Amino acid sequence: MKQRILIIIENAFSFAGTENVCNFMTDCYGPDNEVIILSLKGKGDTFYKFEHVKRIISLEDIGASTYSIIKHVQNINPDYVFVISMGKLSVLYAFLSFFSFKSLNNTFACEHVSYSSFPWYVKLLKIFTLRFYKKVIVLTERDSKKLTSLAIKNLKISNPVHMKNIVRTEKPKIVLAIGRLEHQKGIDRLISIWSLFYKKHPDWILNIAGTGSCEHQLIDQVKKENLEGSIFFLGKVKNVDELYNNAGIYAMTSRYEGLPMVLLEAKSWSLPVVAFDCPTGPREIINHGEDGFLIEDGDIDVFVEKLCLLAEEDDIYFKFCSNIKNTSNPFSVEKIKEQWKMLISE
């Protein structure tokens, strides 16, 4: 039986990991159901295609207030609601539902940032509100265990890896980083790492794709380090596949994450990764010493050391590339699609 499914997201027109997951969810549900996206922000063309979506409603585009979410939900009258949250949206939606005397029995909260990364007052709000949802979908085992200890119903569903079955025979001298240019993503740390790495490997370049509020600050940092000829800010890139395909190593220096899609995308392109062991996500994706390196959070010297190792040692580099296919099984598309579909058949 065809069901009406509503996905609520902060900005369906953006190009970050949450929008990528939203796109995947529409692929899971769209062919057999009626899928509608309600976006708080954004207008114009979406970055992702959302091929199986009946319509996208943007509150910003129609001049409606964020606080009118519940009114729009009632007009749509969905069988199931999925709230994709980077932190505040699941809390806000719960409170708006309480004030409107609307039950959350058909609503799933999809949490895309680790619980441990929030300040204490946000954690308290999460503890109070998340227990009213039908179920909370989390990305990592660590978050699942934490919510279970708080008596909050939850299920871990990882992000998927769409394997490209690439066999790498060359090592491009390009390190790649993709993400919003915000404090969370730690690009400032990556630039500090690059200033040390580049002294040993001046024939390599660093490509950084993304936009954000820290862009000018990061460009100034690059200038102060005299790295203008080796670090390139690419902005918002439509064809990120080309970036992954042309890169030699992927680097991630985030201060915190959920389950970073960029690491899964890097795996899909058989691209070795060096990443800080931040909360949470990298530890569940990277198999240290098999398909990448997991570095103690903040240890810049070891990060540089492992980047140099991959740049210098072809045997290790190509072994990591070939190992990735075997270490990606837990993130298979079909397995994860089935988990999403089970939620609306329970």
Burial pattern 137-176, b for ≥16 Cβ within 10 A else e, equals: bbbbebbbebbeeeebebebbbbbbebeeeebeebeebbb
Q: Same domain, yes or no, for 84 and 104?
A: yes
pLDDT at 280: 82
Helices and strands in the chain: count of H runs, count of E runs? 13, 13
Query: Cα separation of 113 and 296, whole Å?
Result: 20
Q: Same domain, yes or no, for 320 and 250?
A: yes
In-domain check, residue 167: no
Query: Cα separation of 208 and 21, whole Å?
Result: 21
Burial of 66 (0-12, 13-18, 19+ CB in 10 A): middle
pLDDT at 233: 97
pLDDT at 113: 86
Q: Which residue has the tokens 């069988």?
A: 79
pLDDT at 213: 96
In-domain check, residue 169: no
pLDDT at 15: 76
In-domain check, residue 304: yes
pLDDT at 274: 98
pLDDT at 1: 78
pLDDT at 45: 85
Residue 262 corresponds to which tokens in the numbers above? 């960029």
Q: Same domain, yes or no, for 155 and 40?
A: yes
Q: Same domain, yes or no, for 319 and 336?
A: no
In-domain check, residue 166: no
pLDDT at 295: 98
Q: Same domain, yes or no, for 22 and 55?
A: yes
How many domains does one find in the chain? 2
CB 280, CB 258: distance < 8 Å: yes
pTM for this structure? 0.78
Q: Same domain, yes or no, for 145 and 253?
A: no
In-domain check, residue 168: no
Range of the domain at 232: 174-327
Q: Same domain, yes or no, for 302 and 335?
A: no
Q: Same domain, yes or no, for 183 and 298?
A: yes
Distance from the Cα of residue 142 to its chain's centroid: 16
Q: Which residue has the tokens 């072994």?
A: 319
Query: Cα separation of 12 and 23, whole Å?
Result: 9
DSSP 54: S
Q: Same domain, yes or no, for 85 and 223?
A: no
Q: Which residue has the tokens 């394997």?
A: 163
Q: Same domain, yes or no, for 54 and 142?
A: yes
pLDDT at 279: 84
- Domain with 92 in it: what CATH number? 3.40.50.2000
Binned average pLDDT, 10 residues per bin, the chain of 346 residues = 93 84 92 94 85 91 90 94 94 94 94 88 96 95 94 94 88 97 96 98 97 97 96 92 96 90 92 94 92 97 98 97 87 91 89
Q: Same domain, yes or no, for 249 and 189?
A: yes
Query: Cα separation of 70 and 80, whole Å?
Result: 14
User: Facing residues of 37 across strands?
Assistant: 7, 56
In-domain check, residue 201: yes
Q: Same domain, yes or no, for 82 and 146?
A: yes
